[in-house]
Amino acid sequence: MVAMRKSRLSSLKGLERFQVALMEDGKPDMVRWLKSKKKAKLLMDEVHKHIFDLGPPTPPGRRTGRRSHHQLLVHHASEIQTTIDTMRDIEFYMGRFPYSEVKIAKHRHLQFHVEAWLNELYILQERLLQLLTFIERQHRKDPRLDHIKAVCRMLNDFVVDSMKKGVDIRGRHVHKWRLSDNQIDRLVGISLYTKMPSRKIQRAFRPYYESEYRKIRRRWREWVASGTDEAQNLADAYFEEVFKLILDDKGRLVYPSRLKF
């Protein structure tokens, strides 16, 4: 069983490997829970309440320190995965303009999604750094704390340095001015001619606007796709080190020494 688990984990990498290891590590608790008819019924009642009744959850039983630690690690990893998934969603949204009525200008639609992607990039950096802070704090007074701090400092610098360019672009956009790009600015200028009183000028510039919009959208979409791939590679490299830091070579979570239960 251990060999099968190790083999399965070795076929994965980075963030996915980390998530699968945590899921496998949490299975025994779930199996023990479901073996009790009383607890299994409580679980099904909570599922029913969550889907249909929307009532307040039943206060859980006493949570052990180890269970809380495991759940918080799962939460951190899930937040990071969701952010990368959202970055990929934005790439998809950029490739479509689903509005029949022209109430939203295509260049504003494009700019909105580029800015949204930059915000997600910033969120990704914050989530990666927050996980390092969490790991350090959880291992206070642990015999391995010095080693953990050293690895976390290395990973912190790796994340900040690798994401500096994109995060700086986002920072300028938020704190000083909206995203400024020569190509999108050109679209704004061309769009003005499509609204001129002269129908002849409108007819001349509308096809040109559409043609330039598609070209510029393709360039930005390729930039976003490339940036998302780099973010995924960064997260995978990051989690390869986190995996070695807090899980053993069989993929089992090594709990902080202060958490006995």
Provide the pLDDT for residue 175. 43
- pLDDT per residue as tens digits for the range 183-208: 888 888 898 888 898 989 989 999 99
What average pLDDT does range 109-127 have in this prediction? 93
What average pLDDT does range 250-256 have in this prediction? 91
Asked if residue 156 has pLDDT above 60, the reply is yes
Asked if residue 155 has pLDDT above 70, the reply is yes
- pLDDT per residue as tens digits for the range 50-63: 677 666 666 556 77
Residue 88, CA distances (Å) to 204, 231, 260 in order: 36, 10, 40
Residue 1 binned pLDDT confidence (cut-offs 50, 70, 90): very low
What average pLDDT does range 109-125 have in this prediction? 93
Asked if residue 258 has pLDDT above 60, the reply is yes
CA distance 110 to 50: 37
Tell me the pLDDT of the chain averaged across its residues: 85
**Per DSSP, what are the bridge partners of residue 253?**
247
Residue 5 binned pLDDT confidence (cut-offs 50, 70, 90): low
CA distance 81 to 163: 17
Asked if residue 176 has pLDDT above 60, the reply is no
Q: Which residues, at least 6 apart from 103, have a Cβ–Cβ distance to it below 8 Å?
A: none
What average pLDDT does range 256-261 have in this prediction? 90
Say what the pTM is.
0.82
Provide the pLDDT for residue 34. 58
Provide the pLDDT for residue 225. 96
CA distance 93 to 99: 12
**Residue 247 in 3-state DSSP?**
strand
CA nearest to 57, candidates 70, 68, 43, 40: 43
- pLDDT per residue as tens digits for the range 221-234: 999 999 999 999 99
Q: Rounded to a whole number, what is the distance in angstroms from the first to the last CA of the chain?
A: 24
Provide the pLDDT for residue 124. 97
CB 114 within 8 A of CB 232: no
**Per DSSP, what are the bridge partners of residue 247?**
253
